[in-house]
Amino acid sequence: MLKPPQDILRRYDLTLVQHVTTTSIADIWKVARVDGTFAALKIYHDQNPQDEAPGFALMQAAKGQGCVPVLDYSDGIALMGWLEGPLAGALSRTGQDKQALNALIGACKAMHSAVAPAALPDLKTTDDCLQELFELQYAPDCSVQTRQLFAHAQRLARALASTQSTLRPLHGDLHHDNVILSPNGPLMFDAKGIRGEPAYEASNMFCNPIGSCALIRDPARARWMADELAPVFATTPLRLLQWAAVRIALSIVWDVKSPLPASPKGGDLLALYLSFTDV
């Protein structure tokens, strides 16, 4: 069984080590602390947290409100509270989409209330996130339709970026499978930690949960979510749908990289959400 280095176990006085999973960037173990409580030990490959390091600063600032408690984080090694319970995504995948959305809203409200808008001023911004979309290149065989779709998304992203409300720290990757329904309420994890307008926080909810293609392509569901989320983020349903479209475009770019191929996966979903923004 894969085990953490002994010096790390000694550092935190950890026992009962159980390997849980290996992701593309880290290994995670369930461990027991000296006080008898369980914790999650996450060690990033080559101790490189990639874009997740700012998320730990955010979750530490939240002090367990709406997110997993971070007991310690340094040099690509994180010790966090152990979370028990189903994912919010499991609710949506079993026909309980409203309950899942309420869980996301609850976790988001709790964390945003715990972290002051002016906190963590050095976080990267939504403008930084959008650069890859603005700098997108197209493969020679990229279709005219695909080029038009992404040009539309770029125009929309520029309009949103130039009209943002007061920026604040955000989870940055909030979706159904990053929220667990714990005995202490819904808690977020795997935060990216960015600074942006609150409406951006909802952008990734629309194209989730994973494995629910019919659900996320249902126009009625998208509009219902926008109506439910608008008062939470003090914005309009239209602006939420606009951010959702931009986030889908960004996700495609992050997934397939540049130059963009002729028919990138997710292009149909982008076209659907862009159609919501044509008013």
Query: Which residue matches tokens 């942006």?
Result: 196
pTM of the model: 0.94
User: Helices 126-134 and 237-256 meet at what angle, rounded to 10?
Assistant: 60
- Cα 228 to Cα 262: distance, rounded to the nearest angstrom: 35
The predicted-structure confidence for 231-275, as pLDDT tens digits, reads as follows 999 999 999 999 999 999 999 999 987 799 888 999 999 999 999
pLDDT interval class at 278 (50, 70, 90)? confident
Rounded-to-integer distance, Cα 150 and Cα 156, Å: 10
What residue spans in the chain does CATH classification 3.30.200.20 cover?
Answer: 6-81
Does the pLDDT of residue 180 top 70, yes or no? yes
DSSP helix/strand/coil, 211? coil
- Mean per-residue pLDDT of the chain: 95
Domain 88-276: which topology?
A: Aminoglycoside 3'-phosphotransferase; Chain: A, domain 2 (3.90.1200)
Helix (H) or strand (E) holding 231, with range, is none
Architecture per CATH, 6-81: 2-Layer Sandwich (3.30)
Residues spanned by CATH 3.90.1200.10 within the chain? 88-276
